[in-house]
């Protein structure tokens, strides 16, 4: 079952501003809602998202219960060398999802 969709250009020029789009499948349960039986549904959210390029952090986001289900993030960066992105989402209930994508910079 697919958990994340990553959209990164395959090729970029040195110094070109590129857009990175990430969509992750997650319920982002707030911890404030009540279930059908009146019980509080326990919080289940992604807490952090980190994007690294060749090991260096280039983007980071902290999530809160107010973030909607299936968080969608876009951000921009400039690169000077080819390499690999790593995308890491971490959250409640030991949620951990890691995806990678490579790019050629010329």
Partner 1 sequence: MMRLRALVMATLAVPALAGEIPLAERRSDTLTMSSELRAMQADDAANPASFSVLDGEALWRVRAGASGKSCADCHGDGAQSMRGVAARYPAFDSASGRVLDLEAKINQCRTERQGSAALPMESRDLLGLATYVGRQSRGLPIVSDDPRLAPAIDRGRALFTARQGQLNLSCAICHDDHWGRKLGAATVPQAHPTAYPLYRLEWQSVGSLQRRLRNCMVGMRAEPYPMGSDEFIAIETYLMSRGRGLAMETPGVRP
Query: What is the binding site for partner 1 (CB under 8 A)?
Result: 1-3, 5-7, 21, 23, 25, 27-28, 68-70, 72
Residue 74: CB minimum distance to partner 1, A: 8
Q: 33 vs 60, which CB is nearer to partner 1?
A: 33
Q: 22 vs 53, which CB is nearer to partner 1?
A: 22
Q: 56 vs 68, which CB is nearer to partner 1?
A: 68
18 closest CA partner among 93, 74, 68:
74
Find tokens 């390499």 and name the residue. Answer: 83
* Per-residue buried b or exposed e for 82-98, using 16+ beta carbons within 10 Å of the residue's own CB: eeebebebebeeeeebe
């Amino acid at each position: 079952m697919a958990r994340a969709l990553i959209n990164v250009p395959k090729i970029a020029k040195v110094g070109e501003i590129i857009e990175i789009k990430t969509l992750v499948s997650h319920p982002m349960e707030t911890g404030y809602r009540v279930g059908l039986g009146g019980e509080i549904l326990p919080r289940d959210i992604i807490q952090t998202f980190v994007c690294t390029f060749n090991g260096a952090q280039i983007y980071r986001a902290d999530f809160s219960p107010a973030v909607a289900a299936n968080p969608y993030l876009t951000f921009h960066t400039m690169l000077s060398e080819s390499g690999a992105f790593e995308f890491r989402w971490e959250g409640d209930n030991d949620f951990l999802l890691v995806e990678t994508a490579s790019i050629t910079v010329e």
